[in-house]
């Protein structure tokens, strides 16, 4: 099969789309959540069943915390 043929290009494109679809479905298991005490965003990783903090804060949560001292 020649790498310049149309058939080869279609096969490569289909393979890349399949890889992207697989990554999108596997990443859906990780959900972003907000820690109610610190307003920091974290993800729960189901493989290790632990929180992984992203060093980002939810602006709405921070505003609500500031309003209610």
Q: What is the pLDDT along the chain (69 residues), one digit of tens a residue?
A: 677 788 998 999 999 999 998 887 776 556 678 888 888 888 887 778 888 888 888 888 888 878 766
The whole-angstrom distance between residue 9's C-alpha and the CA centroid of its chain comes to: 29
pLDDT attached to residue 31: 66
pTM value > 0.85: no
Q: Residue 65: which of 43, 42, 41, 36 has the closest Cα?
A: 36
Q: Give the residue among 23, 28, 53, 49 at the shortest CA–CA distance from 39.
A: 53
pLDDT at 29: 57
pLDDT reported for residue 13: 95
pLDDT for 28 equals 57
């Amino acid at each position: 099969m020649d790498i310049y043929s149309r058939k080869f290009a279609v096969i490569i494109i289909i393979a890349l789309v399949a890889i992207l679809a697989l990554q999108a479905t596997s990443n859906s298991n990780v959900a972003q959540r907000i820690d109610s005490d610190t307003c920091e965003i974290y993800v729960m990783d189901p493989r290790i069943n632990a929180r992984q903090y992203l060093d980002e804060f939810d602006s709405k949560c921070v505003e609500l915390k500031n309003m209610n001292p």
